[in-house]
Amino acid sequence: MNSTLIDGLFVFMLAGFIGFEVIKRVSPLLHTPLMSLTNALDAIAVVGAIVLVGEHKSQLSFVLGVLAVIAATSNVVGGFLITDRMLKMFKSSRPTKP
Amino acid sequence: MTDFAGNQTIIEIVYVVASILFILSLKWLSAPTTARRGVLAGEIGMVLAIGGTLLHHGIVDYKWIVIALVIGSGIGVPLGLVHMTAVPQRTALSHAFGAFCVTLVGTSEFYLRTPNVPKFMMSVLCMEVILASLTFTGSLMAAGKLQEVLPQRPITYKGQNFVNLFFLAIAVAVAVYLVLHPEAKQLFPVVIVVPLIFGVLMIVPIGGADMPTVISLLNSYAGLSAAAMGFVLNSKLLIIAGALDGSSGFILSVIMSKAMNRSFTNVLFGAFGQVQAAASTGKEDKTVRSATAEEAAGILAAANKVVIVPGYGMAVAQAQHKVRELYDALTKKGVDVRFAIHPVAGRMPGHMNVLLAEADIPYDRLMEMDDINGEFPQTDVALVIGANDVTNPAARTDQSSPIFGMPILDVDKARTVMVIKRSMSPGFAGIDNPLYYLDRTLMLFGDAKAFVNSIVHELAGNAH
């Protein structure tokens, strides 16, 4: 039991470092899409909510789970949609090579 | 049983692939040329992860999962189609939704597991719920302020910090008690409700100018709460996504507070309104030079290098499309036009770039502060549209100024400075700007959109 928590801490630490190094390189030009994209990715919390709904262990967890799936799904769909809309608008003045 | 285990292995492998795709997604976002590929990678990762989760052996009821997914998508689509000026409040709202989801899942997990919750698990669970519920109300407040349904002015009162810290302390104390006595489930609502109140109180004293920092900070909290949820559910995918989101929000908060020359604690515990008292007054006797659109057009047409400095005032006036016309007209005349973007221009990190990109201004014309500042001395005209404090030279020279030390765009070093402004009234932070009284500065009084429009007309007239 304890070892899974330690595993989790290792994963958290490594992912934190990767996040720091990768995101540091994101151009300030794209900081708004960055935030909406990470927000969409963060909505992966939906998987925890889906399990709650599907397992139906108690009435409370079922109802809260349904609400949680709705909230997270709206972030997934809305987040990816607006990120792509924003990125589509960024055009270079130089002719782009395909 | 072996079948279940087989399924579980498949799910875990799918999660590993999704994690790789999430990291690649952020990596590809580093440049505009690969960024859309990044979104695609994120989408594929998300679909895989959700698909994999549906294989989970404990799931007995698919009907309500599908219903919830459909309703959520129905809410998500309009939220993905908002106008670009509304992106900051949409982002704040989505932080609230994310935190809402995490709060609900954390609450369910507590009631499913109590009273057999190991100490470490309980600490993480409490951290998850506290962070998520304060992020929920805090983000709703931020969204309300950005949407202007709530007053944007900071609301402060004596002892405010003490009251706020008191609420936070109660939540932490009860959380500690719950860790030691996990059977005391009647206390659990306290670690939800008290942070909910704290979230509201935390945002009350924060003014509109600090929104970019606050949004980034809430982004970070949302990520950390999701990572904590990953610990509770033992989901490494969730820990990774939460850590990525958390570090992204953290980096952005640091960049934003540096750009405002303020520390985190200063943003959260010292409302900007209090600093205003220090702003010096009594400069009304100074003279300013103003110019007409015709004169401005003449100077711009004769220039070789023009740098446009857009601020949020430009976006409020919806002038970005007119600014694009000005960019086109000047570029056609062979003038080199670039845009200088201060990190806190706009209402969230990078917002100004999105607004200008929406108006079809090529992104390679958008320059960051550090890249453009060295070039102002060689610039013929710096045209300031709806920006104020980020161009205030007092930040460099006047130690008594409340914004002293804040990095600014050195527009005062350009050969000619033009400032489009409604009137001489001081800006958002109520600080006077010595830039307006320089000999080389021409004030162009009027509405940003209308004035840029008349400059464009004058330029078109000159061409004939």
DSSP string covering B299-324: HHHH-SEEEEEE-HHHHHTT-HHHHH
**B34 and B93 inside one domain:** no
pLDDT at B271: 46
Determine the average pLDDT of the residues in B273-282.
43
pLDDT at B183 over 90: no
Closest CA to B385 of B456, B458, B309: B309
- Strand pairing category for B416-421 and B336-341: unpaired
pLDDT at B33: 92
- Per CB-CB distance under 8 Å, the chain A contacts of B66 are none
pLDDT at B275: 44
d(CA B420, CA B177): 58
pLDDT at A23: 93
φ, ψ at B431 (rounded to 5°): -110, 135
Query: Is B283 domain-assigned?
Result: no
d(CA B90, CA B426): 29
Query: For residue B109, how far is the Cα from the chain centroid?
Result: 31
**B188 and B232 inside one domain:** yes
Q: How confident is the model at residue B364 (pLDDT cuts 50, 70, 90)?
A: very high
Q: Catalytic residue at B389?
A: yes
**B342 and B396 inside one domain:** yes
**B252 and B394 inside one domain:** no
> With b meaning 16 or more CB within 10 Å and e meaning fewer, what string describes B346-359?
bbbbbbbbbbbbbb
Q: How confident is the model at residue B3 (pLDDT cuts 50, 70, 90)?
A: low
pLDDT at B428 over 70: no
Determine the average pLDDT of the residues in B234-256.
93
Determine the average pLDDT of the residues in B25-41.
94
Say which CATH number the domain at B383 has. Answer: 3.40.50.1220
Give the tokens for residue B286: 């100074």
**List of residues 6+ apart from B371 with CB closer than 8 A:** none
- Chain B nearest C-alpha distance from A95 (Å): 11
Query: Is B150 domain-assigned?
Result: yes
**B7 and B117 inside one domain:** no
Residue B398 CB burial class (10 angstroms; 0-12, 13-18, ≥19): middle
CB contact under 8 A, B72 and A18: no
- Per CB-CB distance under 8 Å, the chain B contacts of A90 are 32, 35, 353, 357, 363
Q: How confident is the model at residue B116 (pLDDT cuts 50, 70, 90)?
A: confident
Determine the average pLDDT of the residues in B364-370.
93
For B384, which DSSP code?
E
φ, ψ at A39 (rounded to 5°): -65, -40
> What percent of chain B is modeled with pLDDT above 70?
92
Residue A1 CB burial class (10 angstroms; 0-12, 13-18, ≥19): exposed
Question: Could you tell me how many helices (H) and strands (E) chain B has, helices first?
Answer: 17, 6
Q: How confident is the model at residue B431 (pLDDT cuts 50, 70, 90)?
A: confident
- Per CB-CB distance under 8 Å, the chain B contacts of A8 are 230-231, 234, 236, 239
- The secondary structure of B253-282 as a DSSP string is HHHHHHHTT--HHHHHHS-GGGGGGGS---
d(CA B276, CA B350): 26
Query: Is B73 domain-assigned?
Result: no
CB contact under 8 A, A73 and B76: yes
CB contact under 8 A, B79 and A74: yes
pLDDT at B56 over 90: no
Which residues on neighbouring strands pair with residue B340, listed in sequence order? Answer: B367
Q: How confident is the model at residue B462 (pLDDT cuts 50, 70, 90)?
A: low
Q: How confident is the model at residue B284 (pLDDT cuts 50, 70, 90)?
A: low
Query: Is B285 domain-assigned?
Result: no
Determine the average pLDDT of the residues in B336-345.
93
**B232 and B121 inside one domain:** yes
Q: How confident is the model at residue B159 (pLDDT cuts 50, 70, 90)?
A: confident
- Strand pairing category for B416-421 and B381-385: parallel
> What percent of chain B is modeled with pLDDT above 90?
64
Query: Is B76 domain-assigned?
Result: no
d(CA A61, CA B107): 8
Spatial contact of B330 and B380, defined as CB atoms under 8 Å apart = no
CB contact under 8 A, A19 and B244: yes
- Per CB-CB distance under 8 Å, the chain B contacts of A66 are 64, 67-68
Spatial contact of B460 and B312, defined as CB atoms under 8 Å apart = no
Q: How confident is the model at residue B347 (pLDDT cuts 50, 70, 90)?
A: confident
The residue from B30, B60, B90 where one domain ends is B60
Domain total in chain B: 3
**B326 and B257 inside one domain:** no
Domain total in chain A: 1
pLDDT at B464 over 70: no
Q: Containing H/E element for B292?
A: none
Domain extent, residue A36, equals: 2-89
pLDDT at B383: 95
CB pairs under 8 A between A and B: 365
Closest CA to B307 of B340, B285, B334, B280: B340
Q: Which of A52-56, B72-76, B281-285 has the lowest mean pLDDT?
A: B281-285
Nearest to B108 among A32, A39, A61 (CB): A61
- Per CB-CB distance under 8 Å, the chain B contacts of A98 are none
- Per CB-CB distance under 8 Å, the chain B contacts of A65 are 68, 104-105, 108
pLDDT at B280 over 60: no
Query: Is A96 domain-assigned?
Result: no
Nearest to B247 among A20, A79, A83 (CB): A20
Nearest to A52 among B78, B108, B245 (CB): B108
d(CA B216, CA B438): 36
The residue from B274, B304, B327 where one domain ends is B274
Residue B379 CB burial class (10 angstroms; 0-12, 13-18, ≥19): buried
More confident of the two residues A11 and B148: A11
Domain extent, residue B18, equals: 1-60
Closest CA to B80 of A82, A33, A86: A82
Determine the average pLDDT of the residues in B290-310.
93
Query: Is A95 domain-assigned?
Result: no
Determine the average pLDDT of the residues in B54-65.
89
Of the residues B248, B320, B338, B355, the best mutation for testing chain A's interface (the one with the most A CB atoms within 10 Å of its CB) is B248
Spatial contact of A25 and B362, defined as CB atoms under 8 Å apart = no
Q: How confident is the model at residue B267 (pLDDT cuts 50, 70, 90)?
A: low
**B147 and B207 inside one domain:** yes
**List of residues 6+ apart from A49 with CB closer than 8 A:** A65, A68, A69, A72, B68, B101, B104, B105
pLDDT at B285: 59
d(CA A82, CA A86): 6
Candidates B389, B410, B412, B432; catalytic one: B389
pLDDT at B73 over 50: yes
Please measure the distance between the N-terminal and C-terminal CA atoms of chain A and give it in whole angstroms. Answer: 52
- Chain B nearest C-alpha distance from A69 (Å): 6
Tens of pLDDT, residue by residue, chain A (98 residues):
567 888 999 999 999 999 999 999 999 999 999 999 999 999 999 999 999 999 999 999 999 999 999 999 999 999 999 999 999 999 987 755 44
Please measure the distance between the N-terminal and C-terminal CA atoms of chain B and give it in whole angstroms. Answer: 84
**B252 and B190 inside one domain:** yes
Q: Which of B17-21, B188-192, B264-268 has the lowest mean pLDDT?
A: B264-268
Which residues on neighbouring strands pair with residue B419, listed in sequence order? Answer: B384, B443
pLDDT at B279 over 60: no
Rounded CA Rg of chain A: 18
Query: Is B265 domain-assigned?
Result: yes
Query: Is B281 domain-assigned?
Result: no
* Closest-CA residue of chain A to B343: A28
Query: Is B70 domain-assigned?
Result: no
pLDDT at B277: 40
